[in-house]
Amino acid sequence: MSVTDVINPATEDVVARVEQTSAEETDAAIARAHAALPAWKALAPADRARLLRRFAEAVDADVDHLADLEVRNSGHTIGNARWEAGNVRDVLQYYSAAPERLFGRQIPVPGGVDITFAEPLGVVGVIVPWNFPMPIAGWGFAPALAAGNAVVLKPAELTPLTALRLGELAREAGIPEDVFQVLPGRGSVVGQRFVDNPLVRKVVFTGSTEVGRQIMAGCAAQVKRVTLELGGKNANIVFADADLEKAAASAPYGVFDNAGQDCCARSRILVERGAFEKFMELLEPAVQGVVVGDPASEKTEMGPLISAAHLASVASYVDTETPVAIRGSAPEGPGFWFPPTVVVPREATDRIVTEEVFGPVVTVQTFADEAEAIRLANDSEYGLSGSIWTENLGRAMRVARGVEAGNLSVNSHSSVRYWTPFGGVKQSGLGRELGPDALAAFTETKNVFIATEG
């Protein structure tokens, strides 16, 4: 049996030791999940709804504990971590309304009646990255369970603690133990079995585009369903007619939240040329005002990066030659710290402009007009999110329609609401999570014709 140390990224202390699930144990868990399906599917819709509400209540009662675990395991600020635990509760609550509304249709046909049923898929494998361990797990398991599927969940190797706790809370709430199982372990072992084991009928994957491609190829071999939520390199477009004070005050939080380890981070600021100087003047105090430090402190706005390896990766984008325009602060000493950093790149082809840094680093480029703003925003293999700052509503809508991204916000850096659809285009992903339509991703339509003549 192999055991992994879980490290606090703010202190580098070991906070827990977690047993890794082997390939054989993963297959055994998948077999148990499969065996549990008939009873879960047969449960009266109101009873499944009640169990999901109880699960939501158990999470609610445990918010402070879950948040504390996330602060220690992931270095998330306590404010963010409480929001993340609350998000799991809210998503469970939202989808608890679904079991009683999973109805099909009656379609007129000659010679009989035709009715459709929304059938669960079977066992669903949910693979979660380390950057938002709680919400991303919930966006997969809550609608999957509501639709009558069994779930096997693999947290990231670096951040398993809150997922393990959510598994305990599900059991305490009465969700049958084989219907929702949390399997900590390696992606190449546990995650790979979700792809290769034919009893798993859908993989919900959130993570890097590179691994996402492999998952999609693996699922293709069995024509297995897949939802992919992948990387991002999102544009924050600021027009000269915008409320520049508001745009500049919001920009650091649109990219440095969670230390920039956010697929929706607005990591490319595009400013209309005439407003560049004024915007940079306003941005400087906003960046330097970001409070970086102990994530357990209520005042902290940004914590550390997740690991030493990730710190080295982020740091590789900023060397002594990099044209840094603004640099915030970061603690010295133990922990994987990197300061908020603003770069005015030399070329639009620089690696820092084109690649997902996944750290507190943002570039600022200028554009001449609407057409160039859209062209620069779309000059990326990714298409997840983005913001548009302007007081001209017509322009906001034109640009929003022109930018190739799944989630856009006007005069805001808001990205995710559990009651609206979320997901990317291009190499940012495939399929949508959240919102009222997510249930369709966890059911298949069965069509039954009943002959009524002779």
Active-site annotation, residues? 229, 263
Q: Does 222 bind ligand TAP (CB under 6 A)?
A: no
Nearer to ligand TAP, 219 or 326 (CB): 219
Nearer to ligand TAP, 52 or 128 (CB): 128
Q: Which of residues 257-296 bind ligand TAP (CB under 6 A)?
A: 263
Cα–Cα distance between 118 and 417 in angstroms, integer?
Answer: 25
In whole angstroms, how close is the CB of 413 to ligand TAP at the nearest point? 15
Residue 374: enclosing H or E segment and its boundaries? Answer: helix 370-378
Stretch that binds ligand TAP, among 1-9, 182-190, 286-294, 437-445 (CB under 6 A): 182-190
Residue by residue, DSSP assigns 167-204 as HHHHHHHT--TTTEEE----IIIIIHHHHH-TTEEEEE
Binding string to ligand TAP for residues 136 to 155, with x set by CB under 6 A, is what?
Answer: x-----------------x-
Stretch that binds ligand TAP, among 44-52, 101-109, 183-191, 289-297 (CB under 6 A): 183-191
Stretch that binds ligand TAP, among 106-114, 186-194, 320-328, 391-399 (CB under 6 A): 186-194
Interacting residue with ligand TAP among 94, 358, 367, 418 (CB under 6 A) = 358
Contact 95, 142 (CB under 8 A): yes
Q: Does 133 bind ligand TAP (CB under 6 A)?
A: no
Q: Does 211 bind ligand TAP (CB under 6 A)?
A: yes
Q: Does 354 bind ligand TAP (CB under 6 A)?
A: no
Contact 411, 243 (CB under 8 A): yes
Q: Which of residues 360-389 bind ligand TAP (CB under 6 A)?
A: 384
In whole angstroms, how close is the CB of 29 to ligand TAP at the nearest point? 15
Q: What angle do CA 50, 106, 91 make, to 5 degrees?
A: 30
Please list, residue by residue across 170-192, b when 16 or more beta carbons sit within 10 angstroms of its beta carbon and e when fewer do.
Answer: bbebebbebbbbbbbbbbebbbb
In whole angstroms, how close is the CB of 252 to ligand TAP at the nearest point? 19
Interacting residue with ligand TAP among 22, 116, 208, 354 (CB under 6 A) = 208
Q: Does 186 bind ligand TAP (CB under 6 A)?
A: yes
In degrees and rounded to multiples of 5, residue 326 shows phi and psi of -140, 140
Q: Does 91 bind ligand TAP (CB under 6 A)?
A: no
Nearer to ligand TAP, 130 or 389 (CB): 130
Interacting residue with ligand TAP among 9, 75, 207, 260 (CB under 6 A) = 207
In degrees and rounded to multiples of 5, residue 304 shows phi and psi of -85, 175
Q: Does 340 bind ligand TAP (CB under 6 A)?
A: no
Nearer to ligand TAP, 91 or 173 (CB): 91
71: left (phi over 0), alpha (psi -120 to 50) or beta: alpha
In whole angstroms, how close is the CB of 261 to ligand TAP at the nearest point? 7
Identity of residue 339: P
Q: Does 219 bind ligand TAP (CB under 6 A)?
A: no
Q: Does 156 bind ligand TAP (CB under 6 A)?
A: yes
Q: What angle do CA 314, 127, 406 make, to 5 degrees?
A: 70
Nearer to ligand TAP, 192 or 380 (CB): 192
Cα–Cα distance between 71 and 81 in angstroms, integer?
Answer: 7
List, in order, residues 6 or more apart from 213 with CB less than 8 Å away. Answer: none
Number of residues that bind ligand TAP (CB under 6 A): 33
Contact 331, 292 (CB under 8 A): yes
Cα–Cα distance between 261 and 130 in angstroms, integer?
Answer: 9
Cα–Cα distance between 99 and 282 in angstroms, integer?
Answer: 49
List, in order, residues 6 or more apart from 140 with CB less than 8 Å away. Answer: 124, 126, 128, 151, 153, 204, 206, 227, 433
Cα–Cα distance between 83 and 63 in angstroms, integer?
Answer: 9
Q: Does 8 bind ligand TAP (CB under 6 A)?
A: no
Q: Does 128 bind ligand TAP (CB under 6 A)?
A: yes
Stretch that binds ligand TAP, among 45-53, 188-196, 313-321, 373-381 (CB under 6 A): 188-196
Q: Does 307 bind ligand TAP (CB under 6 A)?
A: no
Q: Does 125 bind ligand TAP (CB under 6 A)?
A: no
Applying CB under 6 A, which residues contact ligand TAP? 127-132, 136, 154, 156-157, 186-188, 191-192, 195, 206-208, 211, 214-215, 229-232, 263, 356, 358, 384, 424, 428-429
